[in-house]
Amino acid sequence: MSCGYDHQGNDWKEPELTSMRKRGLIVKEYPYKTILFENILLGYVHECLDDTWSAHSPYNALSVGDMEISGFINEFYAVRYLHQVIKANYPEEIGDLPCLPWEHLQTNDV
């Protein structure tokens, strides 16, 4: 599974991506990465044309179904977002991610 971009910066996904690719209209293509945590699917991430990242989650705290959020500065923050989405929906079933260095310091300082 992947995401492709045309000359105008529009993103294309399957099944349209295949026909756009055959017509030579796709200038850049990025594969989706499947993100798992404790053997649970968190969602998918992919790099965007502007070097930011998008995160796609099948879970949503608002119960509106699949949701994709773009604009993450790197893959790390996109994955972190996916973990937070599922943690909000299933707080008892999903473990915590390890603390980031600054989170650990703040916890100890309080």
Residue 65 has pLDDT above 80, yes or no: no
Asked whether residue 4 is domain-assigned, the answer is no
Q: pLDDT by residue (tens digit) across 15-48? A: 899 999 999 999 988 889 999 988 888 999 999 8
What sections of the chain are H helices per DSSP? 16-22, 75-89, 101-109
Average pLDDT, the chain: 83
Q: Which domain holds residue 77?
A: 32-109
The answer to whether 42 and 13 are in contact (CB under 8 A) is no
Residue 35, pLDDT score: 93
**pLDDT surpasses 80 at 100:** no
What per-residue confidence (pLDDT) applies to 104? 56
Q: How far is Cα 21 from Cα 86, in angstroms, rounded to an integer?
A: 34
Number of domains the chain is built from: 1
